Chains A and B, each alone.
Chain A
Amino acid sequence: MNVLRVGEDALLVEVASGEEAQALHAELLRRRAEGSLRAREIVPAARTVLLDGLADRARALSELSAAEVPPAPPRAGDVVELPVRYDGPDLGEVAAHWGVPEPEVARIHAGTEFRVAFCGFAPGFGYLTGLPARYHVPRRDTPRTAVPAGSVALAGPYTGVYPRSSPGGWRLIGTTDAVLWDHTRVPAALLSPGTRVRFVDRGRS
């Protein structure tokens, strides 16, 4: 674990893998809940967790440098199920990358349990991990100027769902009607770091 100082009151904690980042994130949330860590933001990402707005950075730095991070706790809590129509315009390309027939993409994707590794890009956009490495696909060479809201997409090790229409370079394999972000709802984000997710195949409409 490598702890880097960022600006005046933040630390970036770097670990070796996405799994370690998720475990560290869970541990830091636990410490904040019990009151031993005071931070305004705890932001997990691919290989790091950012602690921003630290009340006492020097103390956090010394505690983290000596910290043992237990493995992520057992995946407690409900699984969020997202109904999907596997009808995305890039389904054929993804099938070709994977070397399987198109219906097999839906079967593999809907048969995987995902976990939200981190969020970013847009409110409610989660970077979901869970697909084995042989199913990772590169981004499109040319991003689309508008990806429709609800698009289920793949890029690198991640699956994501666009909460609203935006430009994007991920490969689109399907569509969901689930509302990923609603600021009038509590919580506003359907997916937050650590949430377990399953996609449920609703056919190709």
Chain B
Amino acid sequence: MTDRALAVVRAGALTTVQDTGRPGHAHLGVPRSGALDAPAAALVNRLVGNPPGAAVLETTLDGCALRPRSAVTVAVGGAPCPVAVDGRPAPWGAPVHVPAGALLEVGTAVSGVRGYVAVSGGIAVEPVLGSRSTDLLSGLGPPPLRNGAVLPLGRPGVPHARVDVAPQPAPPAELVLRVTLGPRDDWCAPEAVRTFTSRAYRVSPASNRIGLRTDGPALTRARTGELPSEGMVLGAVQVPPDGRPVVFLADHPTTGGYPVIGVVRAADLPAAAQARPGTPVRFVAVRHR
């Protein structure tokens, strides 16, 4: 292996390789996948001079530690956290030079959930159907990082609209998700639709890359029986038998049989990726455009 590689010293709770995902294959049962906080992933790429779709690492709450075999530029963004190179504090949300063999430590998030680590040249694992993303639902792409793993890096290109510092939104203290109702809101009781769009929910600890699960008032059905399986979109809010809404995130199944009461606006999903368990959630109905 060349020295364009990155050794994983501490993989963290769940660190995966992510890019912009593999849309276009839903008819084969392939989830779109990709970074949950896509703007944060695109920004750290810009900070190191990568194209916005280069593969980055997505960490979950407790960061990771990495040792590049050659000198690289890295940037850490998404959930704010301490960053250190060989024990010395380094800036978060800005390009950082890491010498060959030095230890880059991405610490535990002080707020938010998902951190993004871009490395100049990008993570160059073999693409699957045009994407390097780890898909936890179907197992496509590289497995989640393990201690001792070595990841290949691509060659840094010509710096590409590079920025030195950039504002990043703070993780939400309250998550407000705009939803357009349907296509199966008629499967829920009318008072359930009112409950859904007026009462407070909280982010459940059972949330993951497949779905943001919520705790709160259960939504009752107006219709019993099974809905035949139908195609699901990103941001779809499914109502499972327990009545607690689940917002579909990037690794969501491509078809499903529980009614979808509404769909969250795509622009609101990056904040959902950063909402910690317990964060209050409000679903606000907006009209179809």
Instruction: Answer yes or no: B230 CB below 8 A from chain A CBs.
Output: yes
In this complex, what residue of A is CB-closest to B28? A189
CA distance A63 to B234 in the complex (A): 24
In this complex, what residue of B is CB-closest to A46? B228
Which chain A residues lie closer than 8 Å to B232 at the CB level? 50
Which chain B residues lie closer than 8 Å to A45 at the CB level? 228-231, 255
Which chain B residues lie closer than 8 Å to A164 at the CB level? 139
Q: Given A7-B233, A45-B231, is A119 in contact with B265 using a C-beta cutoff of 8 Å?
A: no
- Most chain A CB neighbours (cut-off 10 Å) among B23, B140, B254, B264: B254
Q: Given A119-B28, A120-B229, is A7 in contact with B128 using a C-beta cutoff of 8 Å?
A: no
Instruction: Answer yes or no: A183 CB below 8 A from chain B CBs.
Output: yes
Within 8 A of A (CB), among B110-149: 128-129, 138-140
Instruction: Answer yes or no: A178 CB below 8 A from chain B CBs.
Output: no
Q: Given A4-B183, A119-B27, A183-B128, is A41 in contact with B231 using a C-beta cutoff of 8 Å?
A: yes
Which chain B residues lie closer than 8 Å to A127 at the CB level? 229
Instruction: Answer yes or no: B9 CB below 8 A from chain A CBs.
Output: no
Instruction: Answer yes or no: B180 CB below 8 A from chain A CBs.
Output: yes
In this complex, what residue of B is CB-closest to A3? B183
Which chain B residues lie closer than 8 Å to A53 at the CB level? 23
Which chain B residues lie closer than 8 Å to A46 at the CB level? 228-230
Q: Given A50-B230, A50-B231, A123-B29, is A8 in contact with B289 using a C-beta cutoff of 8 Å?
A: yes
CA distance A4 to B260 in the complex (A): 12
Which chain B residues lie closer than 8 Å to A125 at the CB level? 29
Which chain B residues lie closer than 8 Å to A131 at the CB level? none
- What total of chain B residues lie within 8 Å of the partner, measured CB to CB? 36
Q: Is the CB of B27 within 8 A of A193?
A: yes
Instruction: Answer yes or no: B288 CB below 8 A from chain A CBs.
Output: yes
Q: Is the CB of A183 within 8 A of B140?
A: yes
Against A, the Cβ 8 Å flags (1 = close, 0 = not) of B29-57 are 11000000000000000000000000000
CA distance A188 to B266 in the complex (A): 29
Q: Is the CB of A43 within 8 A of B138?
A: no
Q: Is the CB of B255 within 8 A of A41?
A: no
Which chain A residues lie closer than 8 Å to B25 at the CB level? 123
Which chain B residues lie closer than 8 Å to A48 at the CB level? 228, 230-231
Q: Is the CB of A5 within 8 A of B183?
A: yes
CA distance A192 to B228 in the complex (A): 19
Instruction: Answer yes or no: B236 CB below 8 A from chain A CBs.
Output: yes
Which chain A residues lie closer than 8 Å to B240 at the CB level? none
Instruction: Answer yes or no: B182 CB below 8 A from chain A CBs.
Output: yes
Which chain B residues lie closer than 8 Å to A52 at the CB level? 26, 231, 233
Min CB gap B229→A, angstroms = 5
Which chain B residues lie closer than 8 Å to A4 at the CB level? 182-183
Contact of B29 among A6, A47, A119, A183 (CB under 8 A): A119
Which chain B residues lie closer than 8 Å to A118 at the CB level? 27, 229, 255
Residues of B within 8 A of A (CB): 23-30, 128-129, 138-140, 180, 182-183, 228-236, 253-256, 260, 263-266, 288-289
9 contacts between A and B (CB under 8 A): A7-B233, A7-B235, A8-B263, A46-B230, A48-B230, A120-B255, A123-B25, A183-B128, A193-B27
Additional A-B contacts beyond A6-B183, A8-B266, A50-B233 (11; CB < 8 A): A6-B233, A7-B180, A7-B235, A7-B264, A7-B265, A40-B23, A42-B27, A53-B23, A119-B28, A119-B254, A164-B139
Residues of A within 8 A of B (CB): 4-8, 10, 12, 40-50, 52-53, 118-125, 127, 164, 183, 188-189, 192-193
